[in-house]
Homo-oligomer: A and B are copies of this chain.
Amino acid sequence: MNQRMPDWLVHRAAAMPDTEALVTEEGELTYRDLDDRVQVAAGGLRALGVQPGDRVALVATNSLQFVVAVHAVARTGAVLVPINIRLTAAEVASQLARVHPSIILCDEMHAALAHEAAGLAELSGVVGLPIAGAPPADPVVTHGPNEDLCIIHTSGTTGAARGAVLTYGNFWASAAGSAYNLGVLPGDRWLACMPLFHVGGLSILLRSAIYGTSAVVHPGFDAGRVARAIREDRISLLSVVATMLQRILDEDPGSAPDHLRAVLVGGGPVPPDLLRRALERGYPVVQTYGLTECASQVTTLSPADATRRLGSAGKPLVTTEVRVDAEAGQPGEILVRGPIVMAGYYDDTAATARAIRDGWFHTGDIGRLDDDGFLTILDRRDDLIVSGGENVYPAEVEAALLAHPAISGAAVVGLSDAQWGQVVAAGIVAEGEVSLADIQGALKGRLASYKMPRVIARLDSLPTTSSGKTQRHLVREILARNRDGETG
């Protein structure tokens, strides 16, 4: 079977040129308009020497230019490397050094970050957006399912980021799984108010092109703006994390409009009070468990099941098999298989071989499947902390803390937080006086601000197992108790 398919945007521009493709601060674009801009940008990339198989990094905030760049890179046959703009220059540099992009695209706001990171990585080729050129003579207008579309970095257990390589086939399968769960209708508008550099945001752009529907892109999350857009821009689908949902509900006291078909909530279960409030007001909350390595959604929990299965992550999409590596009903590592599983980690065959065995992606997350097939996530991999939708890996923060001369031991955990889901907290062993402000000052520039500890407690020593491994769950208990003591 020949599985090559037309480039999704090329197809849509030919099949439905006058249909709305994109809404940004700069207005509405039809598929023809978007495609025209992409051709010009792809010509610019070609003129800069970008060739099929090259990596092209993108350091930019949500905007029309971001969307154009995503499709333009595909049009040249290159592989997109979207960069988390909340990272420090040193963090960005380590990602750039891994993928060696031939070009680093950046918007004006992130030019300094891009230049600094490129300098640290000893790379050149930083280019400001927008770029333009004559449409390429050799546009790439079809893709095979095994061709690489992008590399998205995800932090690993050691705190060093790894690049998950996602293919055209991954996003195609992901789009189908989502469509056959949430539905798709001509004229749908999916609002992206989360970063497009994350898989959750990027997949909105790609599936809109696949479906021939429209993506509404906000520059960032602004609760009032999102609440207005839902009504005035007739949004059909919306992706958020729980804290965003809460702020949207605070902003808009009314009931959800009928045209809002699903609110996809990622980054952990929705707190029961918030869930009740949302459902009472008719918000069709679909909770989802997703992973960068699986091109976003893996399981979802429908509004109908949400209260009956409180805290569950729901059931797998049609593209996806999920099992738990344990006796039936017992907790174990969550394994995922199917066409949504990434090709592997970029340039890291050892990590890929550890992660994907017999086609099963080993998520590192711990969960349990009940008799009815509902998955509950018990612990995120490697004590992953999810704060405001961003993943924070304790090991990375611990390494940064240990670089401080006064700190001899550190254990980093997430504490639950009504606003952010979780906040980063650290138990440290230190000599002399060390204040929270001191530490935050020392870590600035080294750690993205969302990774910064908000709570620090001094411990005499770290609780360890007999083999010397830090018992983070005990540290979490101590920190939670301290905090409750303060507030209670």
Contacts and interface: CB of A to CB of B under 8 A. Distances in A.
Interface of A: 1-6, 8, 11-12, 14-15, 142, 145-146, 167, 169-170, 172-173, 176, 179-181, 183-186, 210-212, 315-316, 318-321, 337-339, 341, 343, 359, 373
Contacts of A180: 179, 184, 210-212
Given A15-B316, A180-B184, A183-B183, 8 more contacts: A1-B145, A5-B318, A6-B320, A11-B318, A15-B318, A176-B176, A184-B184, A212-B318
Contacts of A318: 5-6, 8, 11-12, 15, 210, 212
A58 to B, nearest CB: 23
B343 A1 contact: yes
Most B Cβ at <10 Å: residue of A4, A186, A318: A318
Nearest to A14: B373
Contacts of A8: 318
Nearest to A317: B15
B359 A315 contact: no
Nearest to A373: B14
Nearest to A168: B1
Most B Cβ at <10 Å: residue of A2, A4, A186, A321: A2
The majority secondary structure among interface residues of chain A is: mixed
27 contacts: A1-B145, A1-B167, A1-B170, A1-B339, A2-B359, A4-B337, A4-B338, A4-B339, A4-B359, A5-B318, A5-B319, A6-B320, A8-B318, A15-B315, A15-B373, A142-B321, A172-B176, A179-B179, A180-B184, A180-B210, A180-B211, A180-B212, A181-B212, A183-B184, A184-B184, A185-B185, A210-B318
Contact of A338 (B5, B169, B172, B212): B5
A107 B181 CA distance: 35
A85 to B, nearest CB: 29
A14 B320 CA distance: 12
Contact of A1 (B5, B142, B169, B212): B169
Nearest to A320: B6
A5 B179 contact: no
Nearest to A344: B1
Nearest to A358: B2
A12 B338 CA distance: 16
Contacts of A5: 318-319, 338-339
Nearest to A167: B1
A111 B343 CA distance: 50
A293 to B, nearest CB: 12
B1 A146 contact: yes
Most B Cβ at <10 Å: residue of A1, A185, A210: A1
A169 B176 CA distance: 13
A145 B14 contact: no
Contacts of A11: 316, 318
A3 B169 contact: yes
A305 to B, nearest CB: 10
Contacts of A142: 321
A188 B319 CA distance: 20
Contacts of A320: 6
A4 B339 CA distance: 7
